[in-house]
Structure 1
Amino acid sequence: MPNRMILGLALVALFDAPQGFAMSDTRVAQICDAAAQRAAQSEGVPLDIMRAITRVETGHALDGTLYPWPWTINVEGKGFWFPSESEAKSYLFNIFKAGKRSFDVGCFQINYRWHGKAFRSIDAMFDPDENATYAARFLKELHAELGSWSAAAGAYHSRTPELANAYIGRFQTILARLDTQTPTEFAARDPFTAVANPLIPLQTPADHGVMGSLVPVTGAATAFIQFN
């Protein structure tokens, strides 16, 4: 993925659905939030952190509100939102048969190349609850290592500081836009603007730097939604 983004352009990509984007079922759009709530409770991760991450990863505007979308795939930096689970899985299995291994799936865009071994199957990896639970455990580990949820969010996306910091900016913006009907208790002790420790590069190949957010990190907005 390219090296830099302008936050304002990224927000345009997040909040303005491109022409032809016809998915309008809010029940489907709520699947990721429901999975996020269950994972947050079971793994001890603040719910708003989970809600913000899934929106950064898969969010699109629906009736003026930003929702995550469960049937989302990112293949080597190109994002795809599908109207249904069956269409998403059909596309995913086809690209897998064609030899693709670097792709991100589901509510929290878990990368198959780097995290696929933690799941029983690709089908299980796409399951909203399994996807969210793995994301929550990963975020909790990163929080324990780095000392703040902002730093954990950045490292969730990348261990490259420039990419992580750009992601943190998007994360904080979306976090601030979440409804405040159930305020989280951790805000006072964990300021979102503070990154506790430098992001330490992983001892893995360079392309581990990106987990696969659908938000482009280029200096110009690009078309990144395609349908079969």
Structure 2
Amino acid sequence: MKKHLILAFSLLVSQRAFPDTALANSFWGVAAKYAGINVATLYGIAVHESGMHWSDGSFRPWPWTLNVNKGNEGVQAGPRRYASRQAAEAALVDLIKKGIRNVDVGIMQVNLYWHGDKVENETDLLDPRTNIRVAADYLKDLKTNRNITKTVSDYHSPSNPARGIDYVGKIKRYEKIINEKIK
């Protein structure tokens, strides 16, 4: 609990400490600073994990995303996007009732099995800010080695380094695009 209070406090830190860009001066920037990573890296992870084309033509993260990693009870594995938080919550509750917990949830695709204990109610992971905070907390824990490549690799696939390195390459491509757009 104390760890989460520290996280909540640090997320309230003055935004004046960040460079003058819209992304850095947003909740994304605060969470990235807490995690000790570049804001483009954090946002790049979200874009890769839950990105979709929006009606305005942009490609941005979508918070009402679930990805079933291993299905059972007649539920197939794979990604799912929902039109609203309520629809995503209903689907998540249904998956949990069926005993399916290996589900990536929300904007940062936080895994319910590994990180569901970080929230009071598992459906709280569908709140974008809560989801980003849990992801930032995990990234901060992973960053103890000070190697951002390993941190990002382990965020995706801590037990499969080859898969993690492929993931890092994808995030770096998004970072480049994000950095070009916010300058």
Give distance in 2, aligned partners of 1:127 and 1:39.
14
Whether 1:71 and 2:69 are equivalent positions in the alignment is no
- Point out the structure with the larger helix share: 2
Shift of 1:182: 5.0
- The structure 2 residue matched to 1:46, chosen from 6, 16, 38, is 38
Give distance in 2, aligned partners of 1:124 and 1:35.
17
Shift of 1:45: 3.5
Percent of pairs with identical residues:
29
Conserved in 1, the CA contact under 8 Å of 2:34 and 2:140?
no
Whether 1:161 and 2:169 are equivalent positions in the alignment is no
User: What is the letter of the counterpart of residue 37 of structure 1?
Assistant: G
- Aligned residue for 1:93? 93
- Report the TM-score when normalising by structure 2: 0.74
Q: What does 1:1-228 align with in structure 2 at a 5 Å threshold?
A: 35-62=27-54, 63-76=56-69, 77-145=77-145, 147-159=146-158, 160-180=160-180
Give deviations 1:169-219, integer Å, cap 9, x for gaps: 111111111144656xxxxxxxxxxxxxxxxxxxxxxxxxxxxxxxxxxxx
3-state DSSP class of the match of 1:152?
helix
3-state DSSP class of the match of 2:164?
helix
Conserved in 2, the CA contact under 8 Å of 1:35 and 1:128?
no
Give deviations 1:151-171, integer Å, cap 9, x for gaps: 211110002111101101111
User: What is the letter of the counterpart of residue 49 of structure 2?
Assistant: E
Shift of 1:35: 4.4
How many residues align structurally?
Answer: 150
- Report the TM-score when normalising by structure 1: 0.60
3-state DSSP class of the match of 1:37?
helix
Q: Which blocks of at least 5 consecutive residues in structure 2 are unaligned?
A: 1-24, 70-76
